[in-house]
Structures are given as C-alpha cells and as structure tokens.
C-alpha cells in the first residue's frame, strides 16, 4: 500500500474512531445483498456539501458507482471508499467518465460538510450526498439497500450505530442500473469490467464532472 493510500485509510478510520465515543460499544453489522438485482430502478434526490440538489439524472453521459454507508462506520465504509480510489486509479483516463458517490444512511449525524471532508480524505473525485430521513429511505429502497439504527438498551438517543447492507452499484450514462459489485471486489477486476462497458458505450461524450463546479 502506498503512503497516500495508507493515509486515506487512516483518515477514514480516524473518523470512525472519533465516532466511537458517540456510538458506544455497539458494532454495526453489514450484509451483502444477493447478486440478482437486474430489475432495480435506482432513484435518488439528495444534496451535496454546497446544498445543491443532486439526482440520478445529474450525471447524464457518465457512469455512476454508488455505495451507501455512514461516516462513523468502522470498517466496511472506509475500506470500500479506498477501493473506490483504487478503481479510479486503475481506470486511468477513463475515470473521467465515472462519478463515484457515497450516500449516507445516517442523515441525522452526517451533515453534507462532514461527508465532503470524509470522502475527500480518500479521493476528491468522490462526492458525498445526504438528504432528509424520508429521501434517504426512498433512495435506499430503490437500490434495495437495507439499513437500521441500532442502540444499546438505555443508551441516549444520540448514541447508536447503523446496520446496513453493502455493495457497489453501477449506473449507466442514462442513470439506469447495470451491475452490482461486492464491496470487497478487487479494484482491478471492477475497473476492467467498468472499462469494458465504457468501451461498448458510444452514446455521448462524458458529462461535466460535478466536483466543485456548479451544476448546469
């Protein structure tokens, strides 16, 4: 692992370590969803760190790789975000056609600014999105992502963790579901599969990256 990758993972784990003081001793559980998700119709309407509305249609012309998680996650989330970074690096120039997205399942604690700092610790090309509990639930349901707040008996209302299902969801340039990868899938394998799908898609040039630029 390079020093930069080690630093990114360390920063992500530091977020989780800080959160441990808020979540008590409850350890989140993560479940891998079945591979058969061919009939998914993903939809989301959320906000980025500048308060801009972002939907599944905001990246026309580009592929989207999406995961759900939360910044206090001690293991799977930072590991998957590091995998995102490795996938982007493995894609090389083709990475310009991929928008990686991290959607929080803990909107009560994960503010948009927190998500921005958290995802930037891994790669500035990853964007974090948040929404109201209702919009978060709607988005997760369309991806068939399951999540649940878990508290120890008698714990204060703000002391909890989140159980959630895992996986990386790839959407095509029209925002339609293509394939779901396991969160632990090797970056080189994922990048190779995405690259081949990009090579087969000649429908339109890459859309403008969201990044720090205003949506158009």
pLDDT digit string (tens) for the chain, length 216 residues: 454 444 444 555 455 444 444 444 554 544 444 444 568 999 999 999 999 999 999 999 999 999 999 999 988 999 999 999 999 999 999 999 999 999 999 999 999 999 999 999 999 999 999 999 999 999 999 999 999 999 888 888 888 999 999 999 999 999 999 999 999 999 999 999 999 999 998 765 555 555 544 343
| Amino acid 170: pLDDT | 97
Domains of the chain: residue spans and CATH: 3-200 (3.40.30.10)
| Amino acid 152: pLDDT | 87
Tell me the C-alpha distance between 164 and 148, whole Å.
6
| Amino acid 16: pLDDT | 46
| Amino acid 39: pLDDT | 83
CB 195 within 8 A of CB 91: yes
pTM value surpassing 0.95 = no
| Amino acid 185: pLDDT | 96
CB 68 within 8 A of CB 169: no
Phi, psi of 10 (to 5 degrees): -60, -45
Closest CA to 173 of 8, 36, 56, 17: 56
Please, which residues bridge with residue 180 across strands? 169
């Amino acid at each position: 692992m390079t020093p930069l990758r080690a630093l990114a993972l360390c920063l992500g784990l530091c977020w989780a370590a800080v959160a441990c003081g808020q979540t008590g001793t409850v350890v989140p559980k993560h479940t891998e969803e079945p591979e058969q998700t061919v009939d998914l119709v993903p939809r989301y309407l959320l906000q980025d760190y500048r308060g801009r509305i972002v939907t599944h249609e905001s990246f026309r012309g580009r592929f989207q790789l999406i995961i759900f998680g939360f910044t206090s996650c001690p293991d799977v989330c930072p590991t998957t975000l590091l995998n995102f970074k490795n996938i982007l690096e493995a894609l090389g120039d083709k990475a310009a056609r991929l928008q990686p997205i991290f959607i929080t399942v803990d909107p009560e604690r994960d503010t948009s600014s927190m998500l921005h700092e958290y995802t930037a610790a891994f790669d500035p090309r990853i964007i974090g999105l948040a929404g109201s509990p209702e919009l978060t639930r709607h988005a997760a349901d369309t991806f068939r992502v399951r999540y649940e707040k878990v508290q120890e008996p008698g714990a204060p209302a703000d002391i909890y963790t989140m159980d959630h299902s895992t996986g990386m969801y790839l959407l095509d340039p029209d925002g339609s579901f293509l394939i779901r990868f396991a969160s632990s899938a090797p970056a080189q394998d994922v990048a190779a599969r995405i690259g081949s799908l990009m090579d087969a898609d000649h429908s339109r040039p890459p859309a403008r990256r969201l990044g720090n630029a205003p949506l158009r």
